[in-house]
Amino acid sequence: MLKIDLTGKLALVTGASGQLGRVMARTLASCGADLVLHYHQDQAGAERVERDVRALGRRACTVQADVGSRAGVEKIAGAARALGEPDILVINAVAQIHPWSYVIEESIEDYESQFRTCVLQTVHLVQVFGPALQRKGWGRVIGINTECTMQMFETHSAYVAGKRGMDGVLRVLAREIGRHGITVNQVAPGWTVSERDRTGERQADDAAYCQQVPLRRRGTDAEIANVVAFLASDLASYVHGAFVPVCGGNVMPTV
């Protein structure tokens, strides 16, 4: 039987206190990985995830940082040393800029925040943690992208600009770093059902969205996390440079 086994691996998840981040962290821990849990503002949420990870018998630490700055990522590296050198980088954090606006109205600050937390986060993480991955000759870099990068809908410009920039960096990185035994891939969720939906904190009118999805439903946070765990494992050792939509067929990259 195939099994996702991450025993002995250390994973860093940025934005680990968020709706998707917390589920990815727990899923990686359930597969045997230890966790470095980054958060920006929600300390209590991150600490809850840390307790969950420890309850699974894994080691964990939390660290607050601004991932859009080199100093912030170096702070994460300092905290991670208590557990070792991360083998798996899950690039998940992003600044929230809702409500989105038309290009003619969107603030320059919103474009800058998306560039910092999508593009510069990726660059800083790879520059800080990449050398250790190269020395080990094994590593996983997994960027959390979005179906929006292919849809180009109105009012999405700042978010899409940041995520498409992240996509460009990761595709080039895949060519540069694969020779060292490090895979680089992206997971692109659709509109995802999360804890906020299940508790009724967010009331979503999703009928129109579900109607356009070939599977006729929204995906769940667990379904996204399962793909991340797969890409982090040796089962995906020859998957490299991929952009994997996990959105029920709502977007389909073509050849």
Parallel, antiparallel or unpaired: strands 88-91 and 219-220: unpaired
pLDDT of residue 196: 87
Please confirm, yes or no, whether 111 is among the known catalytic residues: no
Res 204 pLDDT > 90: no
DSSP SS3 for 221: helix
Nearest residue to 239 via CA among 182, 188, 189: 182
The whole-angstrom distance between residue 147's C-alpha and the CA centroid of its chain comes to 13
User: What CATH superfamily is the domain 10-245?
Assistant: NAD(P)-binding Rossmann-like Domain (3.40.50.720)
Task: Match 């809850």 to its residue by tokens.
Answer: 48
Question: In the predicted model, is pLDDT for residue 202 greater than 80?
Answer: no
If pLDDT is split at 50, 70 and 90, which confidence band does 70 have? very high
Determine the pLDDT at residue 143. 98
Q: Which residue do the tokens 């109105």 mark?
A: 154
* Region 48-59 average pLDDT: 98
Ramachandran area for residue 188 (φ above 0: left; ψ -120 to 50: alpha; else beta)? beta
Indicate which residue of 39, 102, 111, 159 is catalytic.
159
